[in-house]
Amino acid sequence: MKTPSFAADLELYGPRGLQPEPLSLARSRQYCRRLASRHYENFTVASWLLPGGVRQHLSNIYAYCRWADDLADEVADVDQRRALLGWWEKQLRLCFEGKSHHPVFVALADTVAKFAIPIEPFVDLLVAFRQDQEITRYESFGQLVNYCHYSANPVGQMVLYLAGCHDPHRVRLSDCVCTGLQLANFCQDVAADWDRGRIYLPNVDRLRHHYDEAMFARRECNTDFRHLLAAYVTEAEGWLRRGLPLVELMPSSFQLSLALFIEGGLAILEAIRRQDYDVWTSRPTINRRQKLRLLASCRWRLWRGTFMERYARDPLPSDEDADATE
């Protein structure tokens, strides 16, 4: 079901939009900033910690992703979702030709021109959103990682363009971070995904842990489920930890924000552990006090040049069932 805010936006700016004239660049930017600020994320997307000249452009990219996500999830009819995603890709291609009048693309055109971002990562994201319309179950962990290649990794690559440091080595590390954050999100949102008719925990591992769809339907948090989710929490942490060296390879003005995104993902995983993997009863989140503590910790360690030391002496946890995805 469409959320009220998105329903109104779709009516105004969708394919049958009631907005009579395109918004100016200034108003389009304002619209993207509003989208970036009104949705919960583990850390604010267009954070004040980023360079001032980049915050608006990250909001523009976020607005593109937010619209695509809502078109894929917040419209009731699956055929309409497919049609709307096709319309969204058409608007994207018009944007790269300088012809789209949708406020997100008016703002985004400025971003892709200033930072020479190619169209491919934007199109890749749509591959994932379309896949969500066709595939609601995953057989293996490899298939899930391939989904992350399209659903999460392109965003990190766009950020590298904004930072002016897009190269193969940083892309590999960024992909680790983004895949780790996506896996953490799957662990965090098991209940919400089930309500949408989707299961992202692959079938091979669910069978191995004797957790079937009837148990999903009953929202059972039994021992089998805890072992299954523990394995995926550990897997997500491993991807995030492998991407950590990217923090020190980013321009200094981007380091703190990236560190917070990674630490935010790790904090979500720790919150899942603290509630004994019961993500059915309540969705784990990070409260304001925890965010401030993470901010202070990351800032201090980066200032001292000791950000990575904590991880060098703190090996990955060895959950009993951490081999579940092998």
Q: What is the 3-state secondary structure (H, E, C) of 257-268?
A: HHHHHHHHHHHH
Confidence at residue 4, expressed as pLDDT on a 0 to 100 scale? 54
pLDDT at residue 310 tops 80: no
- CATH code of the domain made up of 1-134: 1.10.600.10
Confidence at residue 36, expressed as pLDDT on a 0 to 100 scale? 86
Confidence at residue 263, expressed as pLDDT on a 0 to 100 scale? 93
Please check whether residue 67 is in contact with residue 43, taking contact to mean a CB–CB distance below 8 angstroms. Answer: no
pLDDT at residue 2 tops 60: no
As a whole number of angstroms, the distance between CA 294 and CA 300 comes to 10
Q: Domain 135-326 is in which class?
A: mainly alpha
Tokens of 98: 């300088």
State how far the alpha carbon of 122 is from the alpha carbons of 65, 127, 152, 155, 206, in Å: 8, 9, 11, 8, 32
As a whole number of angstroms, the distance between CA 302 and CA 202 comes to 37
Handedness of CA 66, 70, 73, 79 (dihedral sign): negative
pLDDT band at 53 (very low <50, low <70, confident <90, very high): confident
Please check whether residue 103 is in contact with residue 59, taking contact to mean a CB–CB distance below 8 angstroms. Answer: no
Confidence at residue 323, expressed as pLDDT on a 0 to 100 scale? 47
pLDDT at residue 61 tops 60: yes
Could you tell me where the DSSP H helices lie in the chain? 4-13, 25-37, 52-73, 78-96, 103-115, 120-134, 141-151, 153-163, 168-188, 190-195, 203-208, 213-218, 223-243, 246-249, 252-274, 288-304, 309-312
Cα 165 versus chain centre, distance? 21
Question: Please, which residues have CB within 8 angstroms of residue 271's CB and are 6 or more apart in sequence?
Answer: 284, 285, 286
- Tens of pLDDT along 140-164? 999 999 999 999 999 999 999 999 9
As a whole number of angstroms, the distance between CA 168 and CA 174 comes to 10
Residues of the chain with CATH 1.10.600.10: 1-134, 135-326
Confidence at residue 45, expressed as pLDDT on a 0 to 100 scale? 45
Pick the residue with more confidence: 74 or 39? Answer: 74
- Share the mean pLDDT of the chain: 90
Gyration radius (Cα) of the chain, Å: 20
- Tens of pLDDT along 120-134? 999 999 999 999 999
Compute the CA torsion angle 118, 63, 247, 283 (nearest 10 deg): -140
As a whole number of angstroms, the distance between CA 90 and CA 287 comes to 39
Handedness of CA 311, 42, 142, 120 (dihedral sign): negative
Average pLDDT over residues 64-81: 93
What is the value of pTM for the model shown? 0.89
| Nearest partner of 19 among 31, 29, 9, judged by Cα | 9
Confidence at residue 40, expressed as pLDDT on a 0 to 100 scale? 46
Confidence at residue 19, expressed as pLDDT on a 0 to 100 scale? 65
Question: Please, which residues have CB within 8 angstroms of residue 281's CB and are 6 or more apart in sequence?
Answer: 221, 275
pLDDT at residue 312 tops 80: no
Average pLDDT over residues 273-287: 95
Pick the residue with more confidence: 19 or 102? Answer: 102
